[in-house]
Structure 1
Amino acid sequence: MLAMRSPLFKSRLLSGWVQAALLASPSVQALDLLQTWEQARAYDPQMQVVAATRSSVQAYEAQAQALWRPVLMGSATVGAMSADTRTTGAQFAVGGQPSMPGSFATSASAATSTRWSLQAKQPLYNPERQAQQAQLNSAAGVAELRADLAQQQFMLLTAQRYFNLLLAERQQHVLKNQYLAVSRSLTEAQDRFALGDVPVTDTHEASARAAGLQAQLLAADNDVQMARRVLIDSTRLSADVLQPKPLKAQVTVSALPSLEQVLTQVQQANTGVLLKKVQSDVARQELKKHAQNGGVTLDLVASAGRDRLSGDGDFGASSNKQSQQMVGLSLNVPLYTGGWRSAKLQEAAGAASQAQAEVDMALQQSQQQARTVWLALQTGPARLSAMQAAWNASTARLDATRLGRQVGDRTTLELLQAQNDAAQAELSWLRAQTEVLMARLQLDALTGNLSVQSLETLNTQLLP
């Protein structure tokens, strides 16, 4: 019992050490992606569902092994019983004398009846049971694959939650800086308007932009609180500990295999496709259960039993004992089932065709997703470089517009627009960075390679 629980116990113990270290060390204020995953894996209810799904694998395997083991059944009864037996036309022979016709009768009222029996049966030939065993083994594979698929999806979800919080905090920071800049522009416009240097429309434009940014800041604050709350519920960490590490200035992804290799890996190792294939195997085994020879069985059987009846009757005290033992073979052949077997066979054939079509559809969808993600990763570095260049250009334009506004060559509206463009360019660049990193995880999931090592690789893209 302890050995079965040790992996989960070790996982919780390790996560407890991680949490204790984070809480005890005041210098540790940021949590990386791998630590977040370890905490979520130990405490999130979704992983408990995964563990419960995985625990059913052994049950299915045990059922499959038990199908061909001998079955021993015992029964015993005791009760009050009355019996009356009359036989005529019987023949009796005593001591080698010629048999003579006669009759006899027995009677018992309010008698005590006891009965016990033992029956043993060992299946020798049973096509339906063979198919059932194959289905149970496949069911174990289905449970394992479902657990793997759920764990992969939860790993992706945890990473997405982590980046959502990181991006929400960064968006909040950018909007705060933009709001401060717009507030300074508003103060400057009001002062210059008081001096008669600018029209009143400048103050109206700056005031409207400040009010709009204030509304965006409130929405950004809500996004941060919700993103942090989701991770707190999943990891059970406190808010002061749950601070994501920022990304490096330059995000890079590992070298990509060729598209042909990716599509081959999807076909061979994609968890969703493998799950559909195993489910298709279960449907094909259902066909064998209802085939023409599926109901034929041959069993080795053995039985032993004893019946006893004792009491008083019409002829005085009576007692009857009967014992029987048997060892042999039992052959069962269904001759007519009223059309039930043929109808079940037709149903199983339709289910098998549907299961195979679902395999083809899952493979097609997975390969399409892999192609989309691969192309996004292929163009990811160039896209990030272009977006960073756009951010740098918008920052330079903001500096030039700010200088032009000071000397009177640019209007307040142009300055406000330049500030907005620079902030949006920075946020777009940051969002693109997280999208590239998530795309790399998605490609690992589609090719069946998503693991803790994938998160460790992404951790290298975070600041220490």
Structure 2
Amino acid sequence: MRHYFNLIKFKNALALSEIENDYQRSKYRVSTKLYENGSISVEEYETLKNEYESSKNNFNISKNNLTQIKNDVYIFSGKELNDINDIKLVTINHKNLVLDDLITSAFTNNNTIRMSKQGMSINRNEIAAQRSRHYPTIDLVVEYDYLDITQGGSQFGATTREDSTISLVLNFPIFNGGYQSSKIKEARLNYQKARLDHTNSRRLIRKEIIDNYNIYNTNEGLYSTSLQILKTYQKKYENAQEGYEKGIYTNTQMLEAKLEYSRALFDAKSIMMDYLFSELTLDHLQNNLSVSSLRRINTYLAW
């Protein structure tokens, strides 16, 4: 999901850089005429020219970034993406999550922690198994066989009878010098490593839970603010479009308003995707990520 959100983000970044390039080109063209008429200084003209050149470079960088994330997705999924969806701005119902409950749930259900705990148990049992080879053991042995009880020759073949025995056998281990001691030491080291892995897994999961919990709560306010900013710039852009049609606004002024609105839209979508991803990550860390959650995200995509 992170890769797909990045695809949308870099696609929108490319569109934004294209709008900025249009705006800077318009400013540069106007500055050329003003400079020729002596209305602006050479420093002002060169500044606008450099800004235009910089916007062209940023546009190329955005194209390269989009190509790079496409390649990352191809490595991950094995599929080439021709069409990339956009995402709609939606109202997100914020959950009042309790941090301690999230950590407890992750410690219980997270697959990484469960696997490390299982590895620790396996290595602990291996220590016991290696130790047992130092001491005599009493084994229960069950033997099951058939006895040939044929008397003389028989035209019908051999006559057999089932025979079984149950016995207790006392086994003494063969002395192996320091070999068995080294195997026990190796088993102990493996167990200690498994314990460290388990401890580190818990620490890492705890850190990820706390980080994404903070991101999730922070993005609630950021997203709300970004929507208000977007609303303001949308009105400004609509007024600029109307003014341009009536001849009140110049093309450059209209493009400037369009750029401001596009930046606000890009920021709002980026924050929303970070907001959603932090929520999905918290579910994933608790091994609680469901198909319905992914389907809900799918409804936000603009096809």
The answer on whether the counterparts of 1:288 and 1:294 sit within 8 Å (CA) in structure 2 is no
282, 292, 296: which is aligned to 1:453?
292
Which structure is higher in helix share? 2
Tell me which residue corresponds to 2:282: 443
Aligned mates of 1:253, 1:214 — CA distance in 2 = 40
Mapped pair 1:343 → 2:190: no
269, 273, 292: which is aligned to 2:113?
273
For residues 300-340 of structure 1, give each alpha carbon's deviation from its aligned partner in whole angstroms, at most 9, with x where no partner exists.
34689xxxxxxxxxxxxxxxxxxxx9966444221633243
Residues 357 and 393 (structure 1), Cα distance of their counterparts in 2 relative to 1, 3 Å cut: same
* Gaps in structure 2 of 5+ consecutive residues: 147-162
Q: Classify the secondary structure of the residue corresponding to 1:379.
A: helix
Letter in 1 for 2:42: V
Aligned mates of 2:59, 2:124 — CA distance in 1 = 58
Tell me which residue corresponds to 1:431: 270
Aligned 1:358-369 pairs, distance under 5 A? 358-369=197-208
The answer on whether the counterparts of 2:215 and 2:275 sit within 8 Å (CA) in structure 1 is yes
> How far is 1:284 from its partner?
1.0
Tell me which residue corresponds to 2:3: 161
The answer on whether the counterparts of 1:370 and 1:446 sit within 8 Å (CA) in structure 2 is yes
Aligned mates of 1:460, 1:399 — CA distance in 2 = 28
> How far is 1:194 from its partner?
3.0
The answer on whether the counterparts of 2:3 and 2:73 sit within 8 Å (CA) in structure 1 is yes
Which structure is higher in strand share? 1
Tell me which residue corresponds to 2:126: 286
Aligned mates of 2:205, 2:219 — CA distance in 1 = 20
> How far is 1:245 from its partner?
2.3
Mapped pair 1:263 → 2:103: yes
Report the count of equivalent residues.
277
Q: Classify the secondary structure of the residue corresponding to 2:112.
A: helix
Tell me which residue corresponds to 1:192: 34
Give the stretch that moved more between structures: 173-182 or 245-254: 245-254
Q: Classify the secondary structure of the residue corresponding to 1:196.
A: coil
> How far is 1:176 from its partner?
0.6
For residues 406-426 of structure 1, give each alpha carbon's deviation from its aligned partner in whole angstroms, at most 9, with x where no partner exists.
99xxxx9xx999998776555
Tell me which residue corresponds to 1:252: 92
The answer on whether the counterparts of 2:23 and 2:259 sit within 8 Å (CA) in structure 1 is no
* Gaps in structure 1 of 5+ consecutive residues: 1-158, 305-324
> How far is 1:169 from its partner?
0.9
Aligned mates of 1:202, 1:426 — CA distance in 2 = 30
Tell me which residue corresponds to 2:67: 225
Aligned mates of 1:262, 1:179 — CA distance in 2 = 46
Letter in 1 for 2:45: T
Tell me which residue corresponds to 1:354: 193
Aligned mates of 1:357, 1:365 — CA distance in 2 = 12
> How far is 1:209 from its partner?
0.9
For residues 99-128 of structure 1, give each alpha carbon's deviation from its aligned partner in whole angstroms, at most 9, with x where no partner exists.
xxxxxxxxxxxxxxxxxxxxxxxxxxxxxx
Letter in 1 for 2:177: G
Task: Give the TM-score of the pair, scaled to structure 2.
Answer: 0.75
The answer on whether the counterparts of 2:126 and 2:187 sit within 8 Å (CA) in structure 1 is yes
Letter in 1 for 2:270: R
> How far is 1:192 from its partner?
2.6
More contact order relative to length (CA 8 Å, sep ≥ 6) = 2
Task: Give the TM-score of the pair, scaled to structure 1.
Answer: 0.51
204, 208, 213: which is aligned to 2:50?
208
Mapped pair 1:380 → 2:215: no
Higher-Rg member (1/2):
1
Aligned 1:282-431 pairs, distance under 5 A? 282-292=122-132, 296=137, 298=139, 299-301=141-143, 329=167, 330-334=169-173, 336-390=175-229, 426-431=265-270
